[in-house]
Amino acid sequence: MGRHALLSASSSKRWLNCTPSARLEEQFAEETGNSVYAEEGTAAHALAEHKLKRCLKRRSKRPVSDYQCDEMEECTDGYVAYAMEQVELARQECKDPVVLIEQRLDYSAYVPEGFGTGDLLIVANRVLTVVDLKYGKGVAVDAEWNPQMMLYGLGALELFGAIYDIETVRMAIYQPRLESVSTWEISVSDLMEWVDKELKPRAALAIAGEGEFRSGSWCRFCKAKNTCRARAEEFLRLAQMEFKTPALLTDDEVAEVLKVADELARWSADVYAYAQDEAVSKGKKWAGFKLVEGRSCRKYTDEEEAAEAAVAAGYADIYKRSLIGITEMEKLMGKRKFAEVLGKLVYKPQGKITLVPESDKRQEVMAATAEADFKEEE
């Protein structure tokens, strides 16, 4: 496995917002092996790389992986179609654009030892395009002011800035499983202003392990998240509001809690998981807590023998049979075949009205409309 940059592009949102976190993470052991999600993402990237190379008439051997399935085939086909659209757009601006796939990008001129890998780079005269494939199903990622994409742009400028008179950096994040494509562009002059005002000063603090610890959405994948004091202090401050009844909170206080409610729940779950793992695997004793055996359900020692015994006793209706779920069926058939065979037999009921942050991409529902919808369902 190749080494990872201390100030990597993928973790840049974290170390730019919480500069000491990069050095703090060094105190934690590297996780052994990759997660299933990471391995699945690696397989998707390898397959997408192969397909894109073949479309560009370049030699490539199809990769083999246990994670390949109809969904991955369709997702990577969609990515390649989008990538080729960007290549064709570049060909309209430049007769022979430079197209690089899975290119190592070095941005150490701005961030100490900084490097990463760009999924797709396209250089056409004055425009540089950076495309990033994200195969996960977590959260839709916005390209606007996205530090990972901006660092990739800087790395690409280091490669081609002296050869081409690049004025604009275009960025695109393609997330097929979320049906999300986010695009944004920035002028090179504005990008370099961000480098001088934000990137370089914060990178200098991060590499030295200095600055202020700050909690936020960037804590999600931090190795120190379970025992980080700054994160704990922030959430404990908000948790104290639980001792007031909602009627005693001001509107601003309620809004503040709503903004971090999901993060607060995740934090408490992270701390609990950490404490339980320490107790189970290392024998750690926590004041006021103990280990017990959880509740379990009864199981047959031998299902075939149990079925034979039930039938022998005169009970025949002992098996259940049900239709597999829509997602499983679509994965079995593939999206196109599923739409052809079952498209008319599937509907999507109205979702439950829920309160979300303004940044959510879904269309707002007016309160009066929501109330009427609830009454119709009753």
Q: Does 122 share its domain with 246?
A: no
Alpha carbon distance 200, 16 (integer Å): 10
pLDDT of residue 58: 93
Burial (CB < 10 A; 0-12, 13-18, 19+), residue 351, is: exposed
CATH number at residue 41: 3.90.320
Mark whether 50 and 190 lie in a shared domain. yes
Residues 198 and 232 grouped into a single domain? no
This prediction has a pTM of 0.69
Same domain, 169 and 249: no
- Domain co-membership, 236 together with 168: no
| pLDDT at residue 1, as a whole number | 41
195, 154 Cβ separation under 8 angstroms: yes
Is 187 a member of any domain?
yes
Asked if 183 and 264 sit in the same domain, the reply is no
User: Which pLDDT value is given to residue 270?
Assistant: 79
Last residue of a domain, one of 182, 208, 234: 208
Mean pLDDT in consecutive groups of 10 residues from the start of the chain, 378 residues:
74 92 82 76 95 94 91 93 94 91 94 92 94 90 95 95 91 93 96 96 93 84 82 73 70 80 77 82 85 81 91 88 87 89 88 76 68 49
As for how many domains the chain has, the answer is: 2
| Residue that is last in its domain, among 208, 233, 257 | 208
Domain region containing 181: 12-208
pLDDT at residue number 54? 94
- The two tokens of residue 40 are 């699945």
**Separation between Cα atoms, residue 149 and residue 152, nearest integer Å:** 5
The 3-class SS string of the chain reads CCCCCCCCCCCHHHHHHCCCHHHHHCCCCCCCCCCHHHHHHHHHHHHHHHHHHHHCCCCCCCCCCCCCCHHHHHHHHHHHHHHHHHHHHHHHHCCCCEEEEEEEEECCCCCCCCEEEEEEEEEECCEEEEEEECCCCCCCCCCCCCHHHHHHHHHHHHHHCCCCCCCEEEEEEEEHHHCEEEEEEEEHHHHHHHHHHHHHHHHHHHHHCCCCCCCCHHHCCCCCCCCCHHHHHHHHHHHHHHHCCHHHCCHHHHHHHHHHHHHHHHHHHHHHHHHHHHHHHHCCCCCCCCCCCCCCCCCCCCHHHHHHHHHHCCCCCCCCCCCCCHHHHHHHHCHHHHHHHHHHHCCCCCCCCCCCCCCCCCCCCCHHHHHHHHHHHC
- Domain finish residue from 262, 282, 302: 282
pLDDT at 355: 74
The answer to whether the CB of 183 falls within 8 A of the CB of 170 is yes
pLDDT at site 36? 86
What is residue 196's predicted lDDT score, i.e. its pLDDT? 96
**Same-domain status, 231 and 164:** no
Give the pLDDT score at 85.
95
Is residue 145 domain-shared with residue 35, that is, in the same domain? yes
